Structure 1
Amino acid sequence: MTSTPPHQSILDKPFVLDLFAGPGGLDVAGHRLGVPSLGIEWDKSACLTRYAAGLDTLHADVSAVRRESFESLPPEINVLAGGPPCQTYSVAGKGTGRKALEEVKKFIDRLMAGDSDEEIDKELQNLSDPRTALVLEPLRYAIQATRSPNRGHRPYDVIVLEQVPAVRALWDRYAEVLQEIGLPDGTTYKVVVDVLATETYGVPQTRSRAVLIARREGLGAPSLPEATHRAYEAREWNRRNGGVAAPTNQPTLYDAEVPEPGEGPAEDDGLEHWMSMGDALAEPVGTHPGRRTPFLIRSNYGSSGIPGRRGVRTDRQPATTVTGRISRFVVFESVGDRHPDVVCEGPRFSMNEAGMLQSFPPDYPWSGKAQAQQVGNAVPPLFGAHLLSAALGLPAPTPATMRKPWVPATEEQRAKLRSHGCGTADDCTARCPRPE
């Protein structure tokens, strides 16, 4: 696990607090940029992955830390970041969060007006799914920082948030109140909000995220990261290639001649071609042996259980959104050079490969249970690096930033991290959150 020397940023010594840190997407981004971080994560298995990766971690509930142990956080933290759980806002879920958007906006206004935490917590219990309220935690942390004697009542300098597109409406409200009203102590921010496509930053998958970048007044106006790669246009791909039919017992990899990367109508736009699955997986790197091409995948994402509706993409396309179902994706490969049109089912994606499709470095030490869910829930590190770079005024990263294999922590390092994060070197303690 190596970090590049820190570049000069708008902050002398940026230090990130990563809420809902998961297995480490934003923290990996920070380490590759030379920016230290501390992650708070509730899930035990995600914490095991983080310890194995050498990431500083608190195995704790984000809300409980804010209420009970905020003063124990390092006072030098000056960047607040995070991606609150998306289940209630995602189109793949039941939509309880999407239905409660207007109600959540009112809670944002009340927090900025200085209403008591106790009163707000009591009313938040009326939400049909308590996870909906977690999207308020970054704002509550920002407010708590101004009340913290340990910090000298100093607000965070930079805030970086990401979520599913449905949360754009809440980030817009965040922006309004942070700019026009300010925190209860009067601190205001300059804010930008938008929905960005991860493949336009070199991530080998199509994934849209609502992002917010805020800088404290006086640090200059923030800007969104500039795209480095072209957007993947599914309609254009299908128009040019006749579509790719869902695999049957004898599927063919390509139904038409597939253009090489760089071909197409936008060759002079100054952007690189989007990163394909083949770009990410074909060549050996670290312990990854390389994956045979050509191949295609059949996902069950959005299929409603109907095989004919399952998404199909070839190795020359980016992956569909990587979710906790990535281990269920069926991979088809050609039998061999002599019979390239005869296709059989090949090995499914390993967790190392799934992580690489999320732009995690090769050999990232996925640990614990539900590893596919960890991969799918994570912030793509390359995308996170672009967000942090834009927020801090650092040079934009390149895909090669994440391509170097990750060196896991030693047993001694892992024990030290777990002692800090859980309370003992080899187990959880009573201070760790319980699954229930």
Structure 2
Amino acid sequence: MTSSDAASRILENPYILDLFAGPGGLDVAAHMLDVPSLGIEWDKDACETRYMAGLATWHADVSAVRQRRFEDLPKELNVLAGGPPCQTYSVAGNGAGRKALEEVKRLVHELVVGRVDEEGIDAELKELESKGGDPRTALVLEPLRYAIKALHSDNRSGRPFDVIVLEQVPQVKELWEVYRSALKEGLPRPDGSRVPYEVAAVKTLHTEAYGVPQTRRRTILIARLQEHGVPPLPVATHHAYNLRNPVQGGPDDPAATLPAEKGTDPTPRPWVAMGEVLARATAGRPGGLRAPFEIRSNYGSGGDPSKRGIRTDRQPSFTVTGKVSRNAVRYPQSSTQPDPDRLTITEAGILQTFPPNYPWEGGDRSQQVGNAVPPLFGMHVLAAALSLPLPPEEGLREDWRIATEEDRATLRKEGCGAPDGCGPDCPEPKDQSSPSGSSGSSRPRTRASAKRSEK
């Protein structure tokens, strides 16, 4: 059974609230499933990308919306999704979130038993920050706080979210398990009664096993109100990548394409090589990467060139991170030995399974791409959570509809309070990212890649 073998849809009109929405990975997935969504994103650059892509967006701080504007959210929102910033939990970050894990787990318990009100939780989080904690660590509590807030909302008449979908780096699996226990126990209503959820097992999934041409691991939690039954986890459609045997399960492995025995589940398809999708997306367009090529990763090397891994165009990409522009592209069989190339933002987006013409706007575009949920992976997760059929993934290879100037003005007015700028509810400029138009790259691009990035 695959993600598309959904028995029946559980919601007549699903409507997603996407916290920490980034440049739109989960919203693109929702669009492919024909499900409306509203994203909350504090970064101005990511919001500019979202407006250009025609995605409904509130340019705001997630915590501030919960505290002061929750009643203004559309009452029809019935699916809560969230991928809180992962830097403090990630092995690539400074680890502040991992050090504070026990404290955050305690606060989850306090929220569920209803022993401490919102102001009390905020005071404890501020104290945690004053002791040297990273302020982003507290953001991992926001999905739970939104779910509880819904039960106290006059606008919603206390109606809970029907479905909750969370995703993060594998380092938060232990915390998602605490979430799972809390949701199964039930969230507190004002009268002291509880609203329990059915929760699928917390699972760390490999995105290449869902057709993403990139090895990336994400830990997910899917919960439904008890009346909707236990949600399934998305079932892999492709083989996982084996680091020790980089041919196994791929397009060059004859065993990966053998037909399944009659009466068994379909055999997973071979994992997808990055050269395949990049060649397909740039076919007929000048300046694209030419095979064979290899990418030398700068990620996790600690500056030691001898520790930098290499992937060829016949393999999935390394995890696309905010430092993707540092990864060197080389042509080992070239007789002219050209200067090292770099992936363009468009190519990095394609490896994340965004449409080839997705409109990356504003500054720090590498970080936008790296922070995003791969839309194809998001499609599998949302389809499983909502019991929806999985649409053909070919839709993500088609050109995206870019919003008109009039549409962008409307979206910006709804999201920022003004059709041509930021309003009073937007985060302060000093808290936002680099100015629009900056390169977002951490080092200069080579002449070759700079010319290709203009295409």
TM-score normalized with structure 2 length:
0.86
| Cα distance change of structure 1 residues 284 and 162 upon mapping to structure 2, 3 Å threshold | closer
Paired residue for 1:318, among 316, 319, 322? Answer: 316
Q: Which amino acid aligns with 1:119?
A: G
Q: Deviations over 1:161-188 (max 9, x none)?
A: 1000011111111111111244344111
Partner of 1:351: 345
Instruction: List per-residue Cα deviations over 1:241-283 (Å, max 9, x = no partner).
Output: xxxxxxxxxxxxxxxxx98534346845601111111121012
Distance 1:288 1:29 in 2: 25
SS of residue matched to 1:81: strand
The alpha carbon displacement at 1:346 in A equals 5.1
Task: Report how far residue 8 of structure 1 moved.
Answer: 6.5
1:220 to 229, 249, 258: 229
Which one of 278, 283, 308 corresponds to residue 275 of structure 2? 278
Pick the aligned partner of 1:178 from 180, 183, 187: 183
Kindly provide the amino acid, as one letter, of the partner of residue 289 in structure 2: R
Post-superposition CA distance 1:170-226 (Å, at most 9, x none): 111111111124434411100011110101001110010110000001112101000
SS at match of 1:58: strand
Query: Aligned to 1:212, what secondary structure does the other structure show?
Result: strand
Aligned partners of 2:169, 2:366: CA distance in 1, in Å? Answer: 19
Letter paired with 1:425: P
Name the amino acid aligned to 1:166: Q
Aligned to 2:376: 382
Q: Name the counterpart of 1:122.
A: 123
Relative to structure 2, which stretch is displaced further, 120-129 or 22-31? 120-129
Secondary structure in 2 aligned to 1:221? Answer: coil
Deviates more, 1:108-117 or 1:390-399: 390-399
Q: What is the number of residues matched between the two proteins?
A: 408
Counterpart residue identity of residue 254, structure 2: E
Letter in 2 for 1:314: T
Can you list the C-alpha shifts for 1:142-168, whole angstroms capped at 9, x where unaligned?
000010010111000000010000111
Q: Is the contact made by 1:199 and 1:231 (CA closer than 8 Å) also made in structure 2?
A: yes
How do residues 249-398 of structure 1 correspond to structure 2 at under 5 angstroms?
260-264=251-255, 267-268=258-259, 270-285=267-282, 289=286, 290-333=288-331, 339=335, 343-345=337-339, 347-398=341-392
Task: Determine helix, strand or coil for the equivalent of 1:316.
Answer: coil
Equivalence for 1:73: 73
Tell me the secondary structure at the aligned position of residue 125 of structure 1. helix
Which residue of structure 2 lines up, in the alignment, with residue 234 of structure 1?
243
Structure 2 Cα separation of the partners of residues 288 and 82 of structure 1: 36
Please report how far the alpha carbon of residue 430 of structure 1 lies from its aligned counterpart in structure 2 after TM superposition.
Answer: 2.3
How far apart, in 1, do the equivalents of 2:388 and 2:409 lie? 33
- Greater mean deviation of Cα atoms: 79-88 or 392-401: 392-401
Which of 407, 415, 421 pairs up with 2:409? 415
1:15 aligns with 2:24: no
> Residue type matched to 2:215 in 1?
T
- Local SS of the residue matching 2:411: helix
* 5+ long unaligned stretches in structure 1: 1-6, 241-257
Which residue matches 1:248? none
Contact 1:386 1:397 in 2 (8 A): no
What is residue 59 of structure 2 aligned with on the other side? 59
* 2:15 and 2:37 in contact (8 A); partners too: yes
Match of 1:187 in 2: 195
8 Å contact 1:285–1:405 — kept in the other structure?
no
Q: Give the whole-Å Cα distance in 2 for the aligned partners of 1:265 and 1:220.
A: 34
- CA–CA distance in structure 2, aligned partners of residues 315 and 275 of structure 1: 10
- Residue deviations 1:43-98 (CA, integer Å, cap 9, x gap): 00000000000000000000000000000000000000010000100000111111
Structure 1 length-normalised TM: 0.90
**Counterparts of 1:134 and 1:350 in 2: how far apart (Å)?**
31
Amino acid aligned to 1:350 = T
**Secondary structure, aligned partner of 1:368:** coil
CA separation of 1:283 and 1:387: change in aligned 2, threshold 3 A: same
CA distance in 1, matches of 2:56, 2:389: 24
Percent sequence identity over aligned pairs: 57
Q: CA deviation at 1:232?
A: 0.4
Alpha-carbon offset, residue 396 of structure 1:
2.7
In the aligned structure 1, how far is the partner of 2:145 from the partner of 2:402?
A: 34
- Contact map agreement 1:389 1:397 (CA 8 A) in 2: no
* Contact residue 20 and residue 39 of structure 2 kept, 8 A: yes
For 1:111 and 1:234, locate their aligned partners in 2 and report how far apart those are by CA, in whole Å: 41
| Compared CA separation, residues 287 and 104, structure 1 to 2 (3 A) | farther
- The offset of 1:130, in angstroms, is 1.1
Shift of 1:285: 4.9
* Contact 2:112-2:182 at 8 Å conserved across structures: yes
Aligned to 1:196: 205
For the Cα contact (< 8 Å) 2:322–2:368, is it kept in 1?
A: yes
Note the C-alpha offset of 1:129. Answer: 0.8
Which residue of 1 is the match for residue 450 of structure 2? none
8 A Cα contact 2:33 2:390, kept in partner: no
Q: Which amino acid aligns with 2:160?
A: P
Q: Does residue 88 in structure 1 map to residue 79 in structure 2? A: no
- 2:140 maps to what in 1? 135
User: How is 1:140-155 mapped onto 2 (pairs within 5 angstroms)?
Assistant: 140-155=145-160
Letter in 2 for 1:276: A
Q: 1:27 matched to which residue of 2?
A: 27
Say which SS state the counterpart of residue 230 (structure 2) adopts: coil
Q: Output the CA distance in 1 between the equivalents of 2:134 and 2:329.
A: 36
Kindly state the Cα deviation for residue 329 of structure 1 after the two structures are TM-superposed: 1.1
